[in-house]
Amino acid sequence: MSNKMWGGRFETGPDAIMEEINVSIGFDQRLYAQDIAGSKAHASMLAAKGIIDKADAEKIAAGLDTILSEIEGGQFTFQRALEDIHMNVESRLAQLIGASAGRLHTARSRNDQVATDFRLYVRDTLDTLDAQIRDLQKALTEKALHYSGTVMPGFTHLQTAQPVTFGHHLMAYVEMLGRDRGRLRDARARLNECPLGAAALAGTSFPIDRFATATALGFDRPTANSLDSVSDRDFVLETLAAASICAMHLSRFAEEIVIWTSPLVGLIKLSDRFTTGSSIMPQKRNPDAAELVRAKIGRIAGAFNGLLMVMKGLALAYAKDMQEDKEGAFDAFSTLSLMIAATAGMVRDMVPNEKKMKEAAGQGYSTATDLADWLVRVLGLPFREAHHVTGRIVGLASDREIPLHKLKLEEMQGVEPRITKEVFGVLSVSKSVASRVSYGGTAPKNVRAQAKRWLKQLAKEG
């Protein structure tokens, strides 16, 4: 049988392979709620403009409500022969209300319909992700406030560089996630224009009111060019790009969790709830959740690249290529959502080993910069010379395999005679972090202020 939606001039139905490559109901059924909302807005606008009868519009709206509850109740049978969500819904509508159903598709096409549905879907996704990232920021900030004074090693090149606080390290991710949310918000603002009424590609001769449907669906305004309306997938790409950057941040944090939990390092402990065991090695506590968060960016960045390649070189306006916008995006959105939830879970449960952190913070002559700064501040040496003097003092300590503060004053004076015993006041890691009070620096009091500012901000948003 030929397709009952468009099969007027077809004598036979599609080949099985044709159906196989063409069908999208397996995945685009996720758009059912948006599809029904779009159709209801369209039908009521058509009636308001006198394009269809009020009675027909009422039947259509009631039928669509029935379909919504059928789908939500799991009683709806999706049919592959009807290709996609749009035709599945419309065909069921015809079964429910008869001929009036045929009036719904006046002055629209599946091209503007799918563009509208997917915008609505991505908009909902952006709102969900924003709330989830906000929750992760809250978990990080609360932890940071609790450990604002906990000293840990700060790294560059993954080599011990200078002492920082654990709270400060966690707050770095709160900043990153703040930018991620900003990018998602930007994407949402640009996305929020309604393509419905662009019809197939050229607009329509019916006296529709695109401003009314845009408003009914919560859009700021209708899109301004019908060709662009049906061929634009920037809103998905932008969301996937922002999602990729966010996933990259989570992946970096996950890698740190993997490093920190290694017995070789042992800076933090994850809870049993976010760790797995080994089937053969009973002693193992594996950070699988962190490893998977580290890895799953591949799917998200893959979806972004995949869609970028689909859209590249596509002539205007709609082409079926664009049906390939959905599966990767759906997967990327749910993947990011899971990554955020798993990260928040790990953060809430993680416990730092404060003793080990402090010890490690002092290793590798991490307060050498503090010594150099002291020489500049107290003795008035130019920084380059202070750097040189400090290098020689670190050399002495390192030859003897002892930390800086274990050197005798006389040994330091052998390098720079004006050094006094006051220097020992800056050589401990706690003094070092406490002195880093420059704006954005790691001093515990800075971290506390920053964490409190964020908590206030996050509470205001919630």
Residues that bind ligand ARG (CB under 6 A): 24, 28, 84, 110-111, 114, 318, 320, 322-323
Q: Which is nearer to ligand ARG, 123 or 143 (CB)?
A: 123
**Nearest CA among 388, 376, 370, 386 for reference residue 428:** 370
Position 142, amino acid? E
Residue with tokens 């807005």: 41
Instruction: Output the CA angle 393-395-399, nearest 5 degrees.
Output: 125
Handedness of CA 151, 152, 156, 159 (dihedral sign): positive
- 168: Cβ–Cβ under 8 A, 6 or more apart, which residues? 144, 148, 442, 446, 447
State the catalytic residue, choosing from 157, 205, 279, 438. 157
What is the secondary structure of 391-439 as a DSSP string?
HHHHHHHHHTT--GGGS-HHHHHHH-TT--GGGGGTSSHHHHHHH--ST
What 3-state DSSP class applies to 40? helix
158 DSSP assignment: T
Residue 224 token pair: 């301004």
**Spatial distance between the Cα atoms of 181 and 184, rounded to a whole number of angstroms:** 5
- Exposure on the CB side of residue 227, measured as CA atoms within 13 A: 4
The CB-of-111 to ligand ARG minimum distance in angstroms stands at 5
Q: What is the dihedral of CA 220, 225, 228, 233, to 10 degrees?
A: 0
Residue 33 token pair: 């709620």
Q: Which is nearer to ligand ARG, 84 or 373 (CB)?
A: 84
Q: Which is nearer to ligand ARG, 28 or 193 (CB)?
A: 28
Whether the CB-CB separation of 52 and 40 falls below 8 Å is answered with no
Q: Which is nearer to ligand ARG, 307 or 322 (CB)?
A: 322
CB-CB neighbours of 458 under 10 Å:
17
**Spatial distance between the Cα atoms of 195 and 214, rounded to a whole number of angstroms:** 8
**Spatial distance between the Cα atoms of 59 and 101, rounded to a whole number of angstroms:** 8
The CB-of-63 to ligand ARG minimum distance in angstroms stands at 21
The CB-of-204 to ligand ARG minimum distance in angstroms stands at 15
Q: Is 157 a catalytic residue?
A: yes
Q: What is the dihedral of CA 103, 109, 114, 115, to 10 degrees?
A: -130
Q: Which is nearer to ligand ARG, 169 or 233 (CB)?
A: 233
The CB-of-462 to ligand ARG minimum distance in angstroms stands at 35
State the catalytic residue, choosing from 69, 262, 271, 278. 278
**Spatial distance between the Cα atoms of 230 and 220, rounded to a whole number of angstroms:** 18
Q: Is 388 a catalytic residue?
A: no
The CB-of-329 to ligand ARG minimum distance in angstroms stands at 11
**Spatial distance between the Cα atoms of 448 and 144, rounded to a whole number of angstroms:** 8
**Spatial distance between the Cα atoms of 183 and 151, rounded to a whole number of angstroms:** 32
Q: Which is nearer to ligand ARG, 28 or 373 (CB)?
A: 28
Instruction: Provide the pairing of β-strand 193-194 with 221-222.
Output: parallel
Q: Which is nearer to ligand ARG, 27 or 155 (CB)?
A: 27
Q: Which is nearer to ligand ARG, 111 or 446 (CB)?
A: 111
Catalytic annotation, residues: 157, 278
